[in-house]
Amino acid sequence: MSLLITCDTGGWKTPTRLRSHLDDTELSSSDQMVAGEIGIDRLVRQGIDREANFATRRLAYCSGGIAICNEYRADLIDVGRSLHHRDLFSPAVRELPAATRSAIIEEIYSPYRTRVERQLLDMLRTWSYVVHLSVRTFNAKTRDGRWRRGDIGLLYDPSREDEVDWCMDLVEELYHTAPDLKVRRNHPWRGTNDSLTKALRGQFLPDVYLGIEVVLNRSWVARSVACRDETLSLIGDAIGELTGDLIERAA
């Protein structure tokens, strides 16, 4: 199946080479910013997004897609951002020496981006196009405390017709299989914002690459209950059915 599902922000490991750089800093513990720790609100993403990691693997399993998850800590660097983006590093990392920041890019950022690009190229040797879904979660509340509406956001480039059609088809599929889910398009932010999918659109033509961010509301995906797992399975099944149908039509 020409389906790749990635997770930029779900890792929690620290590369061996970086451990000495982080000694005696607030970043020395890999568990410091993991959601679920006592005193941390699960509804607010704190840097390391384990829920997105879990969701990515579940969606890939149910849809039959290939999963690639960044195994290293998102509180060190957000590998989904471009190198010039203001949120590439967390505030704590921005205070570290330039040599340390360069080492983080070399150890975490560059290998992950290269791995995703190589996987896409490898898949395109077999398939005429690839659907790439990049999974994240978003905070259940806005900064001013209002609850966000919507359970799932599908973020895409409106100028790419195939991405628009794919998202519309998924919305329709979920309407029939999971009618209680509120699916919104280009919410809670735009699909043309800085992201890995946006960067890859610049490398692959629109007729061979569909890059879509699937963002999940932490109001439900951060709760470790059977209903969450069942919902992710329904979404994964819908993605698998849709991608399979597209392949048959293209054949």
Structural domain spans, the chain: 3-250
* Res 33 pLDDT > 70: no
pLDDT above 50 (res 109): yes
Mean pLDDT of 118-134: 96
Q: What is the pLDDT of residue 81?
A: 95
Specify the CATH number of the domain 3-250.
3.40.630.40
Of 137, 152, 134, nearest to 196 (Cα)?
134
Q: What is the pLDDT, as a whole number, of residue 156?
A: 98
Instruction: Tell me what pLDDT residue 37 has.
Output: 47
Contacts of 160 (CB under 8 A, 6+ apart): 201, 206, 210
pLDDT band at 21; cut points 50, 70, 90:
confident
Q: How does residue 142 score in pLDDT terms, banded at 50, 70 and 90?
A: confident
Structure tokens at 170: 């998924």
Residue 183: the pLDDT is 97
What is the CB-side half-sphere exposure of residue 233 using CA atoms within 13 A? 6
Among 13-27, 30-44, 184-198, where is mean pLDDT lowest?
30-44
Assess whether pLDDT exceeds 90 at residue 38: no
Provide the pLDDT for residue 239.
96
Residue 202 scores a pLDDT above 80: yes
CA distances in angstroms from 70 to 19, 136, 137, 156, 220, listed in the order given: 18, 12, 15, 21, 23
Nearest residue to 33 via CA among 67, 80, 78, 68: 78
